[in-house]
Amino acid sequence: MASSAASRNGAPRGGGGARSLAGGNLRSSSYKSRPSQLPGSTLRRSSTGSFAAAGDDGVPGRVRVAVRLRPRNAEEMVADADFADCVEVQPELKRLKLRKNNWDSDTYEFDEVLTEFASQKRVYEVVAKPVVESVLDGYNGTVMAYGQTGTGKTFTVGHLGDGDTASRGIMVRAMEDILADVAPETDSVSVSYLQLYMEAIQDLLDPTNDNISIVEDPKTGDVSLPGATLLEIRDQQSFVELLSIGEAHRIAANTKLNTESSRSHAILMVHVKRSVVSQDDTLSIENGNSSHFVKPLRPLIRKSKLVLVDLAGSERVHKSGSEGHMLEEAKSINLSLSALGKCINALAENCAHVPVRDSKLTRLLKDSFGGTARTSLIVTIGPSPRHRGETASTIQFGQRAMKVENMLKIKEEFDYKSLSRKLEIQVDKLIAENERQQKAYEYELERMNQEAQNRIAEVERNFAEALEKERLKCQMEYMESVKKLEEKMLTNQRKHGSDGIIRNECNGEDQVVSVSDEVAEVRKLLQNETQRRKASEEEVNKLNTRMGQLMQSEAGGDGEILRIHQLLEVETQKKKKLEEEVMILKSQLLQLSYEADQSRRYMERVGSGNGLNGTDSPSVNNGEKAPVGTLFEQVGLHQILSYLESEDANVQIHAVKVLANLAAEEANQEKIVEAGGLTSLLMLLRKFEDETVRRVAAGAIANLAMNETNQELIMTQGGITLLTMTAADAEDPQTLRMVAGAIANLCGNDKLQMKLKSEGGIKALLGMVRCGHADVLSQVARGIANFAKCESRAATQGTKNGRSLLIDDGALPWIVQNANNEAAPIRRHIELALCHLAQHEVNAKEMISGGALWELVRISHDCSREDIRSLARRTLNSSPTFRSEMRRLRID
């Protein structure tokens, strides 16, 4: 029966003959080689950094149970002298026999059976040391003594061994091992020492604190006592002192409560916090090392807890109320212990419900039974047959506890503090590096800005200097050459004494040569100037590009860029100014070329014996491609036209002069009109009050008006109105001459007769005679002649029937009055006009009454030009009205 009971209740024994409770499938590790070493490969830890959650894999670890037999004490020696012990131990078989009577006994197997001769050292080594090692490895651990009062629980667990080190109990020895193993710089050990009595937890380190509550982490289910004093232990000595203080407090408290230590549970909690460094590929901390094949280090903290419990005497469970307590009180005293028994029963039987929450003790020891801690239980028994019943129930408790399976788990978490310290250092480093780079960048930017500014300033200076020099030089040269030309012209005039519009005469090739030289020189200057301008343009472009780069590289330097932008704008303005100056120089050159051209032509004519300009029209030149033409190509027509709109009056004047000179060449006229030059000139006439501009513009229009297509364009663009307006308010004879010349040209167009008359062209022409200048009168006369010629042609063709529009507009009196003008050109135009008018019979009456007949008769007699003389004669003869009038007046 005994053996059957033993085999029924027996638990598997520790393997490998290890003389410790850490047998079975628990790793038996070497004590010395353990620090910072990871547990065996079967262990898997959570890599999330949080406490391993319930349900994570762990190592199965059954609650280990040892039984310790106390030697007979003095009293037993006497009282039980005649009786044999009720127990018999077989330590080598790890068996214990409980005698039922003289002939029968039950045999029990335990993980360890400790005889009455077992030393405290050995008890520690087989019961507690494996748990302590586990705790140092990061597991929770529990060592608990259970047994009847007086069987040696306190002696086993809490004996301080003041006088006799050999008798030191588990608490003292465990702390000794822990302190020897931890590293003071990185690890910490702290303790709480508590007493649980009648479901109240008292702080043995602070007696005033006598109702500490248990706090459960809702997530992990871990219990803690935040209200308990927690003292850090640095050395063994202070720990022993702490234990004795706790013991003194315990005695004092129990006296106050009128109880004995044996009725309360004493609990020592040792918290061990260790830093370990593990390698993990899920988190990179020191990426500075990433180029080497070293896995990043991962700082971890392992928190473990060793709970050493000296339980209240187990006999109370069965003898409640036996010592004078009321039943309820006695129940309360023993509530925790009976709850522990129930829980262990439930766990041993694999019940679905374990009443952990029934008492404070079971709540505190939640992790020790059926939890994640490594747990060793030492049951203490006495040898006395008088307590056989208590001993049997204690043994039963131990047997049931052996069936409780725990699942050991390491609890580690990130060392967030050290991680954040490391990261902070790294961030500091990065910030410093960033600041350094920022400074370097700003310095570089400033340097580049400075450089750019210096360069701009230098270019500006050089450019302005060169330009001023060049301008002065050109001006001087220009003045000189004009002076020379004037001098030469004067000499020639004196020599030849001839008159006419161009009265220049010179002594042949010398002047041509010198003028050509000058032209060549000025052209060279112009080329130099153009080159310089190009160089400055390139410089400006370069600066622009540089600016672009600066803008790209400098995101925050807007102010600086704005400033450089302004500089650039100023530079661009300057460039524009310079271009305009160049334009002026060019136009001056153009003038010079033009004059030189004129001289050359004049000389050629002189050379060929023709001293007079064939026509007195303001249009002068229709020869072969002159230097003017070449310049025209160089400058570009559009550029010239754009200068017409310049805000600088000087530039405008030069531009209009250039345009006028270009317009004087028939070859250019079409291009000018196509490019909108005519419109621009007409606009100038309208807007400009400057007499020079008006004169030159009118001259240009006059030149353009030589061409039939342009004549029509001038009319459709309202040119005649502008010309008549100018005719009305201009006083400068040369302006009037140009305007008159332009109208005179229009007068020669058959298609425009009516429009010219209706828009006041004829009256404007006649109005200009007020100035009396021969040049103006000559153009007026030419216009009248042209108009009359067109009218007579139309009359001959039968397309015109009415009276002459000239007569309608009152031109006849002036015609008659100037028919014998002493200026030959005027006289000749009037003579022709009279002939043309007379050819149309419808005009005869008016002409007669206006006195024109007398003039015609005079012309037919006295005109120096034979062709005109005979024309007048033919005209008079062919008109019946004139003939009859002449007969009436008896003119021959």
155 binds, among ligand ADP, Mg ion, none (CB under 5 to 8 A by kind): ligand ADP
* SS3 state of residue 648: coil
Task: Tell me which of 14, 23, 147, 246 binds ligand ADP, using CB under 6 A.
Answer: 147
Smallest separation, CB 251 to ligand ADP (Å): 13
Structure tokens at 277: 């460094």
> According to the binding rule CB under 6 A, does residue 383 interact with ligand ADP?
no
372 binds, among ligand ADP, Mg ion, none (CB under 5 to 8 A by kind): none
Nearer to ligand ADP, 39 or 150 (CB): 150
* SS3 state of residue 100: strand
Structure tokens at 474: 């050109």
For the beta carbon of residue 530, count every other beta carbon within 10 angstroms: 14
Among positions 418-457, residues that touch ligand ADP (CB under 6 A) are: none
Smallest separation, CB 343 to ligand ADP (Å): 21
354-361, long-range: CB within 8 Å, 24+ apart, which pairs?
359/199, 359/335, 360/196, 360/199, 360/200, 360/201, 360/214, 360/336, 361/196, 361/265, 361/336, 361/337
* SS3 state of residue 891: coil
Smallest separation, CB 377 to ligand ADP (Å): 14
> According to the binding rule CB under 6 A, does residue 202 interact with ligand ADP?
no
Q: Name the residue number minimizing CB distance to ligand ADP.
A: 152
Nearer to Mg ion, 254 or 818 (CB): 254
Task: Tell me which of 154, 195, 399, 711 binds Mg ion, using CB under 5 A.
Answer: 154
Q: Are 737 and 618 contacting, i.e. CB atoms less than 8 angstroms apart?
A: yes
Burial class of residue 352, CB neighbours in 10 A (0-12, 13-18, 19+): exposed
Give the pairing type, strands 297-310 and 141-147. Answer: parallel
370 binds, among ligand ADP, Mg ion, none (CB under 5 to 8 A by kind): none
Task: Tell me which of 140, 188, 262, 372 binds ligand ADP, using CB under 6 A.
Answer: 262
- Nearest Cα to Cα of residue 731 among 679, 669, 689: 689
> According to the binding rule CB under 6 A, does residue 153 interact with ligand ADP?
yes
227 binds, among Mg ion, ligand ADP, none (CB under 5 to 8 A by kind): none
Nearer to ligand ADP, 391 or 726 (CB): 391
Nearer to Mg ion, 263 or 657 (CB): 263
Structure tokens at 684: 């100038």
Smallest separation, CB 417 to Mg ion (Å): 41
Nearer to Mg ion, 380 or 749 (CB): 380
d(CA 439, CA 429): 15
779 binds, among ligand ADP, Mg ion, none (CB under 5 to 8 A by kind): none
Nearer to Mg ion, 64 or 153 (CB): 153
Q: Which residues contact 456 (CB under 8 A, 6 or more apart)?
A: 543, 564, 567, 568, 571
User: What does each C-alpha distance from 504 to 324, 490, 516, 891 come to in angstroms?
Assistant: 159, 8, 17, 46
Nearer to ligand ADP, 147 or 761 (CB): 147
147 is in an annotated binding site: yes
> According to the binding rule CB under 6 A, does residue 73 interact with ligand ADP?
yes
Single out the segment in contact with ligand ADP by CB under 6 A; choices: 147-155, 585-593, 596-604, 638-646: 147-155
HEC profile for 774-833? Answer: HHHHHHHHHHHHHHHHHHHHHHHHCCCCCCCHHHHCCCHHHHHHHCCCCCHHHHHHHHHH
Smallest separation, CB 316 to ligand ADP (Å): 11
311 sits in which H/E element: none
721 is in an annotated binding site: no
Smallest separation, CB 147 to Mg ion (Å): 9
- Nearest Cα to Cα of residue 753 among 706, 811, 800, 713: 800
Task: Tell me which of 154, 391, 406, 536 binds ligand ADP, using CB under 6 A.
Answer: 154
Reading phi first (left if > 0) and then psi (alpha if -120 to 50, else beta), residue 413 is in beta
Nearer to ligand ADP, 266 or 408 (CB): 266
Q: Which residues contact 841 (CB under 8 A, 6 or more apart)?
A: 879, 880, 881
> According to the binding rule CB under 5 A, does residue 879 interact with Mg ion?
no
573 is in an annotated binding site: no
Q: Which amino acid is at 16?
A: G
User: What does each C-alpha distance from 171 to 91, 306, 375 come to in angstroms?
Assistant: 24, 10, 15
Site string (388-427) toward Mg ion, x via CB under 5 A: ----------------------------------------
Task: Tell me which of 151, 202, 338, 818 binds ligand ADP, using CB under 6 A.
Answer: 151
Among positions 94-153, residues that touch Mg ion (CB under 5 A) are: 153
> According to the binding rule CB under 6 A, does residue 149 interact with ligand ADP?
yes
148 is in an annotated binding site: yes
Nearer to ligand ADP, 73 or 190 (CB): 73
> According to the binding rule CB under 6 A, does residue 155 interact with ligand ADP?
yes
Interface with ligand ADP: number of residues (CB under 6 A): 14
Burial class of residue 130, CB neighbours in 10 A (0-12, 13-18, 19+): buried
* SS3 state of residue 298: strand
Chain residues in the site for ligand ADP (CB under 6 A)? 70-71, 73, 147, 149-155, 262, 313, 380
Binding residues for ATP: 147-154
Binding residues: 147-154
Chain residues in the site for Mg ion (CB under 5 A)? 153-154
